[in-house]
Amino acid sequence: MNRRVCVAGVGMVPFSTPSKGKTYEEMGESAIRAALADSKVDYAKVGQAYAGFAYGDSTSGQKALYRVGLTGIPVVNVNNNCSTGSSALWLARQAVASGTAECVLAFGFEQMQRGALKPMWDDRPSVLERFDGVVSAVCDMDDNVPMAARYFGAAGLEYMSKYGAKAETFGAIAVKARKHAAGNPYAVFRDPLTLEEVMGSPHIFGPLTRFQCCPPTCGAAAAVVCSEEFARANGLPADVVIRAQALTTDTPDSFEGDLAKLVGTGMAKEAARQVYEESGVAPADIPVVELHDCFTVNELLTYEVLGLTPEGTAEKFVAEGDNTYGGQVVTNPSGGLLSKGHPLGATGLAQCAELVWQLRGQAGPRQVENATLALQHNVGLGGAAVVTLYEKVG
């Protein structure tokens, strides 16, 4: 798999709250058409499609794609929890890199219900049963606390105990997220927040308050990936490439009592290691990152997982502004999941779109100057972690 893979086009729709969202097929179609228009490729030349969604009936991908056209191409529906969109992109990239296809579409959408994430089936074993057991063994749990907030809140408490971090450090990440989102018309929440407002919002669990938890949202995003040869032959943009990418899952240490690893830091760290090794790029070389900030706790943990700052130093990293404009690396210029929202199937591809715009210099008021490398991190419990490195070339 040594063929260079270009991201020829990206597209997304503005994310919205469930009460204002459109249907999944409408959003999916709009995102697909936007990506095709951005790439300037005729849909008839797309050889495969990978559709990501976590909540929906089987073949929902076809339902959305058929609104664009009926060309008979293979369509694969992908569900990998919160990393669904990036998993679809990973599959699309593999198809092109291996020579199986020349031009592939990856898209994701989610028509979400209001309220916190919850299991959809109560007549069969939960996929997170083993995760629940680990958390329950190390801290008291309140069944009224949403499932994901229990995991990440407990991991936040563990980090505070281990390194002496203050609860306000997590809150400062939410303040930064809103500040970044102010320049993003695709984000749901763009109004600024003060640290006092963040910390004063309803307490959820551990260090987490309401404004430190990403909202359930509806949305869709898409990307067209192709070989460099296909791009040149068809006049498609070939200036942004996927330099390296890795998808990893849990290993035994995820379930040995370390709550950070339980919420995905172990598998994400391994994915990042593979990407850095494959590309020869070091964390210090990267000016912009879109990472999976489903909770402020996860953003802080991920700074260290991706090697942006040494283990145990994330609080200093936040306090010195190294996670924003004027600092070491701009994290989540889009506003991240905390402000943009988190429609599970769309999130990874929305991250892709933001980073492609950054590398092209098309990010408007949130543009990171002179960005030629960009890193993406997307994680789903259960579990799957995808890390992707993009590069501007030519």
For tokens 């949130």, name the residue: 366
What's the rounded Cα separation, in Å, for the pair 222 and 72? 19
- Cα 333 from chain centre: 13
Q: Which residues contact 72 (CB under 8 A, 6 or more apart)?
A: none
Tokens of 126: 């939960």
Q: How far apart are CA 272 and CA 286, in angstroms?
A: 13
| SS3 category, 52 | strand
From the list 6, 82, 103, 294, the catalytic residue is 82
Return d(Cα 359, Cα 374) in angstroms, integer: 7
Secondary structure class of 240 (helix, strand, coil): strand
294 catalytic, yes or no?
no
| Spatial CA neighbour of 236 closest among 224, 247, 246 | 224
Helix (H, G, I), strand (E, B) or coil at 132: helix
Amino acid sitting at position 12: M
Contact 63, 25 (CB under 8 A): yes
Kind and range of the H or E element at 221?
Answer: strand 219-227
3-state secondary structure of 290: strand
Distances (CA, A) of 98 to 4, 79, 224, 388, 389: 10, 22, 16, 17, 18
Amino acid letter for position 133: G
Q: Is 140 exposed, middle or buried (0-12, 13-18, 19+ CB in 10 A)?
A: exposed
* Residues annotated as catalytic (active site), given as ranges: 82
